[in-house]
Amino acid sequence: MNILLIEDNKKLASNVQAVLEKETYVIRTASTGQEGLSQATANNFDLIILDIGLPDIDGIEVCTTIRKREINTPILMLTARDDLSSKVDGLDCGADDYMTKPFIFDELKARIRALLRRKSQNQSSKIQIGSEILIDTKEKSVSKNDKEINISPTEYRIVEFLAVNKGEPKTATQIHDAVWGANDESLLFSKSLKVHVSRIRKKLGKNTIKTVQGFGYKM
């Protein structure tokens, strides 16, 4: 699961990231509203954790803009403001949940799990690619012509990321961050991604993943 954390308090952001990465979430961070908007628009996240008190754009405006761009990713707001009006404003602008600082990490993790469950219940777990390929994100399986294909966990994560964003080109960096995590730089400039894509094409068909020259890949 990929989570975007938009928080300008570096110590808090680092602590939240460390706690959530232990839960196997892949965390990307942004310290300003503009940076958060750019990442939320360019990538497909499962959840956005958004601080209201950002240094450039208020979190309310960030949330409103995300919804105007028809990005339906669940948003959990964090804020030091504990008054009722701030909570109402946060929920009215499109946030799905609200927590005030300071908070207990166990409660944060529980709220994240609840939002992710709600999201999965509202989405179909099956993605059809062309007439032959079916990806089941719940079962973590890929089938071709109704026959399940044996692929590695890494290959599956690449397939799922591109399938969720099908038709939309993704750079090697975006794929790397979604599959291996933004903090893992060991594979970023290696040939590993090309090798995995080549193997996937052999299993699913050479035209399943297309190379976008000078940019990256798309399904």
- Whose structure tokens read 């399943």? 208
Which residue ranges form the domains of the chain, and what is each CATH number? 2-122 (3.40.50.2300), 126-218 (1.10.10.10)
Question: Do you know the residue count of the chain?
Answer: 219
Nearest to 79 by CA among 65, 67, 64, 91: 91
pLDDT in tens, 4-56: 999 999 999 999 999 999 988 889 999 999 999 999 988 889 999 999 989 99
Residues 94, 43: Cα–Cα separation, whole Å = 19
Residue 173: which pLDDT band, with cuts at 50, 70 and 90?
Answer: confident
Is residue 85 pLDDT above 70, yes or no?
A: no
pLDDT in tens, 196-214: 999 999 999 988 999 998 8
Distances (CA, A) of 94 to 65, 89, 135: 10, 9, 30
Phi/psi zone of residue 127: left (φ > 0), alpha (ψ -120 to 50 degrees), beta?
beta
Q: Which residue has the higher pLDDT, 187 or 111?
A: 111
Residue 155: Cβ within 10 Å count: 19
Give 2's contacts (C-beta < 8 A, 6+ positions apart). Answer: 25, 26, 28, 43, 44, 45, 46, 47, 178
DSSP letter string over 203-219?
HH-TTSSEEETTTEEE-
- Whose structure tokens read 């094409």? 201
What is this structure's pTM? 0.59
